[in-house]
Amino acid sequence: MKETIIDIIGVPMDYGGNRRGVDMGPSAIRYSGLDKQLKELGLSVRDVGDITVPVPETQVQTGSARLDLLSTIVKVNADLFTAVRRTYADGHFPLVLGGDHSLAVGSALAAKSHFKDIGIIWADAHGDFNTMKTSVSGNLHGMPLASITGVETDSLASFLPAGDGFIRPENTVVLGARSLDPAEADLMRASGITVFTMQHIDLYGMRETVRQAIEIAGKNTRGFHMSFDLDVISPKEAPGVGTPVKGGITYREAHLLMEMLYASGGMLGLDMVELNPITDHSNVTGELAVSLILSALGKNIF
């Protein structure tokens, strides 16, 4: 990693959910000293700026379903797909800052397009495995993983070039889940993905859970994409998120996860998403996001 240039790509989009504010996430993470601290870690950094997020023709109404914003989100994902592909072509490592979690379709499938055989680890309080048929809210940030694995192919991943495929369910791991819709949970069971709920982490510990996640995502692959939703952490420690859920992982468990991912040598790209500065307290979640990124890219306690 030390020889690799880190490309920072911002995606200031909050159209996937029903709470405004995560579009300011990339700015808050940058403001928290990301560039400076990455360089202090000995890494080379290229901030390529933000993906342009167009204003949709349909006015966004707080609390409304988001299906009418599908074309806008698909366009953003298509542009992110191109940007991440360019990062890989340059031999760099993509660090994608969100923004809501629907953006991960563009970043994860770009990694799949470049490396062909990869896995994915999805750290999230939610499954994000709904489809247009199963979703109760219609919020598109609850659907990206279903699109990334090819379960839902006619919505968020509709931009994918012909011939490019999806990440295999058997190399897909959800970690930290504790809020799943019933139909979504049924779909996840049927798909063959691995779901490590908070109950699993409570029973077996974070170390063993992450070890298993890395093994599953890395089996017969070139490596794995890491998509980290800050709401996987307890809202007591990460209050500034798009969709908080009680009972998440702790500060140290989150860092152990990132430290183990780095030590594995298999991480191909990283999303850090769903930071909402509006609900944050004195930027503690923004600063936490930066510290987690540093752990994922090689910072150790000693």
Q: What percent of the residues of the chain are helix, what percent strand, and what percent coil, each to the nearest 5?
A: 45, 20, 40
Let me know if 101 is a catalytic residue: yes
Let me know if 14 is a catalytic residue: no
Let me know if 271 is a catalytic residue: no
Q: How far apart are CA 48 and CA 63, in angstroms?
A: 32
Active-site hit among 229, 253, 259, 271: 229
Let me know if 141 is a catalytic residue: yes
Residue ranges with strand state E in the chain: 5-11, 44-50, 93-98, 119-123, 172-177, 194-197, 224-229, 267-273
Active-site hit among 101, 114, 225, 255: 101
Active-site hit among 7, 152, 271, 274: 274
Let me know if 92 is a catalytic residue: no
* Sequential DSSP letters for 226-241: EEEEGGGB-TTT---B
Let me know if 114 is a catalytic residue: no
Q: How far apart are CA 125 and CA 176, in angstroms?
A: 6
Q: Which residues contact 64 (CB under 8 A, 6 or more apart)?
A: 18
Let me know if 237 is a catalytic residue: no
Let me know if 126 is a catalytic residue: yes
Structure tokens at 52: 């342009």
Annotated catalytic residues are: 101, 124, 126, 128, 141, 229, 231, 274
